[in-house]
Chain A
Amino acid sequence: MNSKNLLEVTPKAHLLGLRFMVNRYKVSKVSGRSEASEERSTVKCLKDWSTWTMKKAKVITHYGFIPLVIIIGVNSEPKPTLSQLLTPF
């Protein structure tokens, strides 16, 4: 009797379990795909953003480095005057 119940129960449970697993697999596969694509898009977003910042940083450095050094230098003690900057002696 027990064994019969067991036999009856087990396949059902097994089936249920399988179905559950299948369902979980399906769900995880779908969510996994969206997760993977989400991940890929965030990585792509990050890459694009970092490329954009590097490009802007390069332009800013190219145009702004020498003026930055001059500004820092002119503000250091003792302060040189503008005429001293421009004359060759």
Chain B
Amino acid sequence: MASHIGVVPPPMTPAKGNEPKTAEKIDYLNLPCPIPYEEIHREALMSLKPELFEGMRFDFTKGLNQKFSLSHSVFMGPMEVPSQASETIKIPTAHYEFGANFLDPKLMLFGRILTDGRLNARVKCDLTDNLILKANSQLTSEPHMSHGMVNFDYKGKDFRIQFQLGNGALFGASYIQSVTPHLSLGSEVFWAGQHRKSGIGLAARYNTDKMVATGQVASTGMVALSYVQKVSEKVSLASDFMYNYMSRDVTASFGYDYVLRQCRLRGKIDSNGCTAAFLEERLNMGLNFILSAEIDHWKKDYKFGFGLTVGE
């Protein structure tokens, strides 16, 4: 019987695993579907740009059933007001935000309303298997301060097309295509009627299991390059370079992302002399403690925040 087993060829699955990747012939007709164009920097953004805040934050999410949940959120702290002077102006604010979320495989509704009357609404609807409608709007009681945007996404076999319509006569379209199993190239055009601006951009993304490298160039003068390396299951390092050739503004940043069993720690350091860290600690099932810090020695701007998140 042992000799018989020896003669029988081994089953397919282990043989496939042992095969080196380079020996595999690239099937150009069967490329994977690429990442959507706006998420091309997704890994770098997740590691390098956590939601830093200043003050106290408390979020409570109550799930009523699998699909529907309500959320209550309180925030107290200084909010930065954009000002022309080099000094940042901070105004202490406090607000309560009520939100309702509905998540279905085909329909997602997300609404948040603040005490000052601002509504933040997002809708995502799968019209067919390949066509997705997304709408996003921020409505305020003040006139001329609201904006809304509607996107139509079509997902093809190895490409994606997106059309965008926004208020203020904003039109945009983007197209991204998988060129090899690891490389995808895309481009976008946009036209903003109200600001009389239009632009065209190109992007490329190369990813393997261990790293992601992206590059994006736009006619508005922006060049953005990023590189994320997954050092292990728990650690990934990211670096980002942004250059605006119109305004000669350069920013380079380097960050890390540790995903550990009980916490997630992200930190970064900038070429503007700004260091930031963001910690999410899981105290218990459904209870998360958040610490955020951003120190800018150059501008003498120190932001520390803490918060608690209850619920999934």
Bound complex: CA A80 to CA B100 (Å): 14
Docked complex Cα distance between A72 and B72 (Å): 19
Choose the segment among B32-40, B61-69, B253-261 that binds chain A (4+ C-beta atoms closer than 8 Å): B61-69
Query: B62 CB to closest chain A CB, in angstroms?
Result: 7
Q: Check if A70 sits within 8 Å of B119, measured CB to CB.
A: no
Is B139 a contact of A73 with CB atoms below 8 Å? no
Residues of chain B with a CB closer than 8 A to A6's CB: none
Nearest residue in A to B137 (C-beta to C-beta)?
Answer: A61
Known: A61-B119, A72-B109. A77 touches B65 (CB 8 A): yes
**B98 in contact (CB, < 8 A):** yes
The answer to whether B100 touches A69 (Cβ under 8 A) is yes
- Do most interface residues of chain A lie in helix, strand or loop, or is the interface mixed? helix
Bound CA–CA A70/B118 (angstroms)? 18
Mask: chain A, 56-89; 1 = CB below 8 Å from B; 0 = not: 0010011001101110111011111000110011
A69-B65 contact in complex given A61-B121, A62-B119, C-beta closer than 8 Å: no
Which B124-142 residues have a C-beta within 8 angstroms of A?
137, 139, 141
Name the B residues within 8 Å of A80 (CB-CB). Answer: 64-65, 68
A73 with B146: in contact, given A66-B119, A80-B64, A85-B64 (CB under 8 Å)? no
- Across the interface, name the chain B residue whose C-beta is closest to A55: B143
Q: A58-B146, A73-B102, A76-B102 are in contact. Are A65 and B119 (CB under 8 A)?
A: yes
| B70 contacts chain A at the CB level, 8 A cutoff | yes
Interfacial chain B residues near A89, Cβ < 8 Å = 62
Chain B, interface size category, equals 20 to 34
Which A residues from 32 to 59 make CB contacts under 8 A with B? 54, 58
Are A85 and B119 within 8 A (Cβ)? no
Known A-B contacts A66-B111, A84-B64; the reply to A73 vs B119 at CB < 8 A is no
Complex contacts, A65 vs chain B, CB 8 Å: 111, 119, 121
Which residue of the partner chain B has the closest CB to A63? B119
Known contacts A62-B119, A65-B121, A76-B65; A70/B100 CB under 8 A: yes
Please indicate the chain A residues that have their CB under 8 angstroms from the CB of B64 in the complex: 73, 80, 84-85
Closest 4 CB pairs of A and B: A73-B68, A80-B64, A69-B100, A69-B109
Residues of B within 8 A of A (CB): 60, 62, 64-65, 67-70, 72, 98, 100-102, 104, 109-111, 113, 119, 121, 137, 139, 141, 146, 167
Q: A58-B146, A89-B62 are in contact. List 9 more A-B contacts (CB 8 A).
A: A62-B139, A66-B100, A66-B119, A69-B100, A69-B102, A76-B68, A76-B102, A80-B64, A80-B65
Please, could you name 19 A-B residue pairs with CB atoms under 8 Å apart, sorted by A? A58-B146, A62-B139, A66-B100, A66-B119, A69-B101, A69-B109, A69-B111, A70-B100, A72-B68, A72-B102, A72-B109, A73-B69, A73-B102, A74-B68, A76-B67, A76-B68, A77-B65, A80-B65, A89-B62
